[in-house]
């Protein structure tokens, strides 16, 4: 089979989504599945929907268009603040969007009016992650301005955690967000249908014994795709960690020292030499590199150690004497490594256990290959 490739087990994606959706039913929280890490891949998105996701969330309009062109008709929310240059397309392709700027909301309202529709607005609140968000004391005033504006409707509020500053959500933060939803309704009327408490890092809180208050939505991507808690990296009970597997091919194997003599002028090379000298270790090179994925985010198979990587070479120390030129190595990936690999044009995507696909499609442009197995 062609290398490099990512093998995607859609059955495991459906299972992981179903596991989370079922556990969140008790506290009354729906799952909005985030598709940005797999570039809006339609088959993976459908697996999430089959597993129980109530809708999809995307950060990039190009991925939303890919989903729509593939026939995905469910509600899609844009979770990155729309660009002014894209407001017409956002209104056309997305039922709602997360927003922090009145100038953007006004442009969305004008675009919606031109298209004879109404666009949903979810106000993103700054709760400590310090990436994007409106300060809590300004949300009520901004909400009232949205309510008074034709072409848009105030659909809800949301918050984000552990993306920029690694701040994990707490029960106190969730109570504060619930209280803020009540305050906004007190000012604007009982119209807040969505209170989105965050992302995959919220699951330990949501699965716990604390009351969930007004929180009725979580935007889940990493936990579905990788089956782990993003903060600790621990596997979530009953979920698969290996829905995605990166496969790369060996292009060189020899007995060169794992500590070649290099100039100290390049500090990056010194930083990524991770193995110690070992006479039993053979150095191998695989045809994949930084241009394809995050080498530091690859989980090395047993008996193998990362030496380093360049733009298109991955250098590994191995004790596996059976590896030779043409051999394949399989890796599990971190979320960052998965995102980069899914976007790499030279990596083939192989789908397994696809319920609906019957033929081969090309995705992500003319050089992205998709094979069904």
Query: In this predicted model, what pLDDT tens digit does every residue of 9-20 receive, in sequence order?
Result: 999 999 999 999
What is the chain's mean pLDDT, rounded? 89
Token pair listed for 265 = 């002028």
pLDDT attached to residue 263: 41
Beta strands 217-220 and 76-78: pairing type? Answer: unpaired
Average pLDDT on 120-124 reads 97
pLDDT average, residue stretch 143-156: 97
Per the CB < 8 A criterion, the answer to whether 346 and 292 are in contact is: yes
d(CA 289, CA 335): 16
Angle at 47 between CA 44 and CA 53, to 5 degrees: 110
pLDDT in tens, 331-367: 999 999 999 999 999 999 999 998 764 333 333 333 3
Average pLDDT over residues 253-280: 50
57-63 long-range Cβ contacts below 8 angstroms, 24+ apart:
57/32, 57/33, 57/219, 57/221, 58/34, 58/94, 59/34, 60/36, 61/86, 61/89, 61/90, 61/93, 61/94, 63/35, 63/36, 63/39
What confidence tens digit (pLDDT) does each residue in 212-240 have?
999 999 999 999 999 999 988 999 999 99
- Distance, CA of 236 to CA of 207 (rounded, Å): 11
Could you tell me what percentage of the chain is helix, strand and coil, using 3-state DSSP and rounding each to the nearest 5? 35, 25, 45
Please give the average per-residue pLDDT across 133-141, as a whole number. 94
User: Does 266 score more than 50 pLDDT?
Assistant: no
The confidence score (pLDDT) of residue 358 equals 39
Q: Which residues contact 117 (CB under 8 A, 6 or more apart)?
A: 91
Compute the Cα dihedral for 250, 251, 253, 256 and give only its sign: negative
User: From its phi and psi, is residue 200 left (phi > 0), alpha (psi between -120 and 50) or beta?
Assistant: alpha
- Residue 343: predicted pLDDT: 97
Look at the domain 244-372 and name its fold: Lyase, Ornithine Decarboxylase; Chain A, domain 1 (2.40.37)
pLDDT confidence of residue 257: 54
Provide the CATH topology of domain 10-226: TIM Barrel (3.20.20)
Q: What are the backbone dihedrals phi and psi of residue 352, each rounded to the nearest 5 degrees, phi first?
A: -120, 145
Q: Please name every residue paired with 190 in a beta bridge, in sequence order, or none if there are none.
A: none
Distance CA 112, CA 90 (A): 9
What integer pLDDT is reported at residue 280 of this predicted model? 64
Tokens at 143, concatenated = 């909400």
Strands 5-9 and 370-372: unpaired
CATH topology match: 10-226 vs 244-372: no
* CA–CA separation, 139 and 142 (whole Å): 5
Check pLDDT > 80 for residue 251.
Answer: yes
Cis status of the peptide bond prior to 4, with omega within 30 of 0: yes
Distances in Å between the alpha carbon of 96 and those of 17, 69, 93, 118, 187?
22, 18, 9, 9, 22
Q: Which of 183, 161, 182, 174 is nearest to 211 (CA)?
A: 174
Range list of H helices, 148-213 = 171-188, 203-207
Radius of gyration over every alpha carbon of the chain, rounded to an integer in angstroms: 23
For the record, the structure tokens of 270 come out as 């010194």
Query: Per-domain residue ranges for the chain?
Result: 10-226, 244-372
Q: 23: part of which helix (H) or strand (E)?
A: helix 10-25
* Averaged pLDDT, 83-112: 98
Distance CA(188)–CA(326), nearest Å, equals 64
Q: Is 60 exceeded by the pLDDT of residue 21?
A: yes
Lowest mean pLDDT among 36-45, 93-102, 361-370: 361-370
pLDDT in tens, 176-203: 999 999 999 999 988 899 999 999 999 9
């Amino acid at each position: 089979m062609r290398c490099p490739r990512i093998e995607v087990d859609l059955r495991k994606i459906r299972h992981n989504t179903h596991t989370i959706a079922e556990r969140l039913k008790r506290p009354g929280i729906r799952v909005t599945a985030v598709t940005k890490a797999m570039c809006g891949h339609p088959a993976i998105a459908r697996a999430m929907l089959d597993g129980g996701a109530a809708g999809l969330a995307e950060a990039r309009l190009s991925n939303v268009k890919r989903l729509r062109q593939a026939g995905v008709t469910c509600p899609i929310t844009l979770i990155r603040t729309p660009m002014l240059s894209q407001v017409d397309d956002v209104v056309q392709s997305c039922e709602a969007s997360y927003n922090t700027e009145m100038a953007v909301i006004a442009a969305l309202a004008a675009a919606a009016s031109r298209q004879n529709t109404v666009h949903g607005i979810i106000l993103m609140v700054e709760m400590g992650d310090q990436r994007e968000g409106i300060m809590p004391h300004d949300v009520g005033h901004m909400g009232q301005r949205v309510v008074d504006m034709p072409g848009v409707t105030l659909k809800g509020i949301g918050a984000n955690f552990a993306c920029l500053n690694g701040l994990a959500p707490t029960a106190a933060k969730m109570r504060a967000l619930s209280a803020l939803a009540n305050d906004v309704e007190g000012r604007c009327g009982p119209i807040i249908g969505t209170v989105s408490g965050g992302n995959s890092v919220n699951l330990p809180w949501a699965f716990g014994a604390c009351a969930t208050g007004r929180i009725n939505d979580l935007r889940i991507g990493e936990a579905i795709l990788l089956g782990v808690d993003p903060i600790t990296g621990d596997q979530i009970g009953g979920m698969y960690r290996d829905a995605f597997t990166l496969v790369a091919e060996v292009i060189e194997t020899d007995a060169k020292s794992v500590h070649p003599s290099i100039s100290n002028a390049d500090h990056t090379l010194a930083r990524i030499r991770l193995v110690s000298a070992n006479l039993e270790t053979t150095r191998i090179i695989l045809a994949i590199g930084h241009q394809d994925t995050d080498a530091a985010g690859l989980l090395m198979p047993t008996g193998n150690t990362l030496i380093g990587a360049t733009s298109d070479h991955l250098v590994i120390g191995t004790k596996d004497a059976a590896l030779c030129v043409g051999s394949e190595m399989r890796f599990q990936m971190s979320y960052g490594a998965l995102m980069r690999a899914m976007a790499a044009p030279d990596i083939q995507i192989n789908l397994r256990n696809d319920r609906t696909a019957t033929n081969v499609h090309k995705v992500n442009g003319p050089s992205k290959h998709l094979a069904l197995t």
